[in-house]
Amino acid sequence: MSEKLIEVKNLKKYFNTPKGLLHAVDDVSFDINKGETLGVVGESGCGKSTTGRAILRLLEATGGEVLFQGENILKYDKSRLRDLRREMQIIFQDPFASLNPRMTVSEIIGEPLAIHKMVNSKEGQSKIVKELMDTVGLSERLVNTYPHELDGGRRQRIGIARALSLNPKFIVCDEPVSALDVSIQAQVLNLMQDLQKDLGLTYMFITHDLSVVKHISNHIAVMYLGTLVEKASSKELFKNPIHPYTQALLSAIPVPSIKHKKERVILKGEITSPINPAPGCRFAKRCPYAKDDCFKVSPELKEVVKDHFVACHYYKEINNM
């Protein structure tokens, strides 16, 4: 049986704004098995990045639990949190913005080793940096270059090498290929998959693009306005999407064959405000199947087929189940 590395239980993150309380993440629960990838998908502003940052404690959660290897890390004090930082890392979307332009490749990759006192000499650090560069496919001759001298793919490889430098178990990958050209996206995704196999890494892979996570994810969680609306294995979700929002997302993926082409679902209607949201389904204003009670009662995430969870009052009718 698969071993759980991460268990997120009823995670909440609210922000105070001049207009009221913004519910960025509301009661989100999921597990990630050791050595596997959970793809977290949704439009910009759905709370997927906030969820990732709250798990890593880069943002403090408003409520809920995050268990890492069985321990609730939201209760960790500063010193335990410092040790935890080695185990849990992040790769950002825009490698150019996340890398210090005044530091060389070697300094960027070596910085976490120095901060966490993982090496006791310059020579030791330089040796590990070169090994990491080799692991992510960066030529050693680039060791003294600066981020602006490199293309997007190489910059993202620096971000990956830096994330790997402390030998983590878990990495939040926050849209790591969205800023890259399609051909370079494939190279970086392949590299990440190879590293996962070789190093036994566990990923939470955040993206707005379902097609990107299809092959890299074991499971996929779909988020809409701070809530989880559907969760299943990647294979099952692509074969049998049940929630109307997931169906709309999937219909937007280009299919090469005309035979298998599905009609694209264009979502209309205004987006519900995440500030002091009223009870009810947050997707109701855009859902073509919404009925009166969808605006009054929030649907719970329920297992509707084995290991396939959906939050919708009318999933049976919509899918002729």
3-state secondary structure 73-112: HHHCCHHHHHHHHHHEEEECCCHHHHCCCCCCHHHHHHHH
CA 42 to chain centre: 10
Q: Is 304 in the site for ligand SF4 (CB under 6 A)?
A: no
Specify the 3-state DSSP secondary structure of 131: helix
Residue 283 sits in the site that holds ligand SF4 (CB under 6 A)? yes
Question: Helix/strand/coil (H, E, C) string of 32-51?
Answer: EECCCEEEEECCCCCCHHHH
Angle of helix 152-164 relative to helix 182-199, nearest 10 degrees, comes to: 20
- CA atoms of 148 and 144, how far apart (whole Å): 12
- Shortest Cβ 179–ligand SF4 spacing (Å): 31
Within positions 136 to 175, which residues make up the interface with ligand SF4, using CB under 6 A?
none
Find the largest Cα–Cα distance for the chain: 68
String of contacts with ligand SF4 for each residue 225-254, x by CB under 6 A: -------------------x----------
Q: Which stretch binds ligand SF4 (CB under 6 A): 57-65, 167-175, 261-269, 283-291?
A: 283-291
Least Å distance, CB 287 to ligand SF4, is 3
Q: Least distance in Å: CB of 235 to ligand SF4?
A: 23
**Backbone Cα Rg of the chain:** 21
| Whether the Cβ atoms of residue 243 and residue 312 lie closer than 8 Å to each other | yes
Closer residue to ligand SF4, CB minimum distance, 113 or 281: 281
| Binding segment toward ligand SF4, per CB under 6 A, in 49-57, 113-121, 200-208, 307-315 | 307-315
By C-beta, is 30 or 283 nearer to ligand SF4?
283
Question: Per CB under 6 A, which of residues 262..281 are in contact with ligand SF4?
Answer: 281
Alpha helices (H) along 149-228: 152-164, 182-199, 210-213
User: CB of residue 267 vs ligand SF4: minimum separation in angstroms?
Assistant: 11
Closest listed residue to residue 55, CA positions, set 163, 197, 203:
203
Q: Does 221 bind ligand SF4 (CB under 6 A)?
A: no
Q: Which stretch binds ligand SF4 (CB under 6 A): 103-111, 135-143, 195-203, 310-318?
A: 310-318
Task: State the minimum distance, in angstroms, from the CB of residue 247 to ligand SF4.
Answer: 10
Q: Would you say 203 and 193 are in contact if contact means Cβ atoms under 8 Å apart?
A: no
Binding residue (CB under 6 A) for ligand SF4 from 76, 289, 308, 319: 289
Asked whether the beta carbons of 220 and 231 are under 8 A apart, the reply is yes
- Tell me the number of residues near ligand SF4 by CB under 6 A: 12
Residue 284 lies near ligand SF4 (rule: CB under 6 A): yes
Please, which residues have CB within 8 angstroms of residue 203's CB and are 6 or more apart in sequence?
32, 36, 37, 38, 170, 171, 172, 173, 192, 196, 216
Nearest distance from residue 240's CB to ligand SF4, in Å? Answer: 16
User: If binding is defined by CB under 6 A, does position 294 make contact with ligand SF4?
Assistant: yes
Of 80 and 296, the one with the shorter C-beta distance to ligand SF4 is: 296
Q: Write out the residues near ligand SF4 by the rule CB under 6 A.
A: 244, 281, 283-284, 287, 289-290, 294, 299, 312-314
